[in-house]
């Protein structure tokens, strides 16, 4: 029982910590964005509540949902997009956290329904290679997660058409840093176009990064 209480506190603290961090960075707001942690031992999902400014959250505000979809703890109602989190984490047994974020530059691509494939950034090449865009699914319904299993099995960060993005990781630190890294690269790319022309890496240079850099996405998948 003591172990269960400690784990419960840890999960709630993690959700609150990263929800506030994302708010401080301007990547979520009071109406958009939600974060979750899954305790695979108990099957409980700890998720940010609906329609609340993230920087004001406390541990009592975190909604806790059981395997059957029932909210069993938390003074505020769970996010309406919990189905998205459940689908992503169900498809990724290696991950225990999900961050659904409306970061401006990433979301701009989502509004255009475009995959992100850029060749000018070594960071992007190492960490992502590509950020695919999932077709539109209606928010607040089960359709928001249509097709997510196939994409999220292959990619840790995806776009949701006309909506935002979703990242998964072993922890919220892992999930959130993917969003932050991608958003920063896209911001710099946007600025670069004002200076331009952009100097892309060649296909052979990119392939060398994919195959030879020890921290590349491709090599991380192999390990």
The dihedrals phi and psi of 104, each to the nearest 5 degrees, come to -55, -50
pLDDT, one tens digit per residue, over 14-34 is 999 999 999 999 999 888 999
CA 192/CA 196 separation, integer angstroms: 6
Q: How many CB atoms lie within 10 A of CB 194?
A: 6
b/e burial code for range 108-134 (CB count within 10 A of at least 16 → b): ebbeeeeebebeebeebbbbbeebbbb
173 is a catalytic site residue: no
Structure-derived torsion over alpha carbons of residues 66, 70, 72, 78, reported in degrees to the nearest 10: 100
Residue 19 backbone class (left: φ over 0; alpha: ψ -120 to 50; beta: rest): alpha
CA 131/CA 133 separation, integer angstroms: 7
Q: Which of 47-61, 135-149, 206-220 bottoms out in mean pLDDT, i.e. has the lowest?
A: 135-149
pLDDT at 4: 62
pLDDT, one tens digit per residue, over 78-132 is 998 999 999 999 999 999 999 999 999 999 999 999 999 999 999 999 999 999 9
Work out how many domains the chain is built from and give that number: 1
pLDDT, one tens digit per residue, over 134-160 is 999 888 788 888 999 999 999 999 999
Global confidence as pTM: 0.93
- Decide if 159 contacts 106 (C-beta within 8 A): yes
Query: Which of 81, 138, 149, 173 is the catalytic position?
Result: 81
Bridge partner residues of 44 (DSSP): 39
Domain range for 45 is 2-222
3-class state of residue 122 by DSSP: helix
pLDDT at 2: 47
CATH number of the domain that 197 lies in? 3.40.225.10
Strands 44-47 and 63-65: antiparallel
């Amino acid at each position: 029982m003591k172990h269960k209480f400690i784990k419960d506190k840890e999960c709630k603290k993690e959700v609150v910590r990263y929800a506030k961090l994302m708010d401080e960075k301007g990547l979520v707001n009071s109406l958009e964005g939600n974060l979750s942690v899954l305790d695979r031992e108990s099957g409980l999902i700890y998720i940010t509540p609906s329609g609340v400014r993230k920087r004001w959250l406390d541990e009592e505000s975190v909604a806790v949902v059981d395997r059957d979809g029932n909210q069993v703890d938390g003074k505020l109602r769970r996010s309406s997009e919990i189905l998205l989190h459940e689908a992503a984490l169900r498809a990724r047994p290696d991950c225990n956290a999900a961050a659904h974020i409306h970061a401006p530059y990433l979301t701009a691509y989502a509004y255009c329904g475009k995959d992100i494939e850029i060749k000018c950034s070594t960071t992007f090449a190492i960490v992502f290679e590509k950020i695919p865009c999932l077709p539109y699914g209606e928010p607040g319904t089960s359709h928001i997660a249509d097709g997510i299993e196939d994409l999220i099995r292959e990619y840790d960060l995806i776009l949701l058409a006309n909506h935002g993005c979703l990242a998964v990781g072993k922890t919220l630190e892992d999930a959130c840093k993917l969003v932050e890294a991608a958003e920063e690269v896209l911001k710099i790319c946007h600025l670069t176009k004002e200076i331009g022309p952009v100097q892309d890496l060649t296909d052979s240079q990119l392939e060398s990064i994919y195959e030879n850099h020890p921290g590349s996405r491709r090599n991380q998948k192999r390990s």
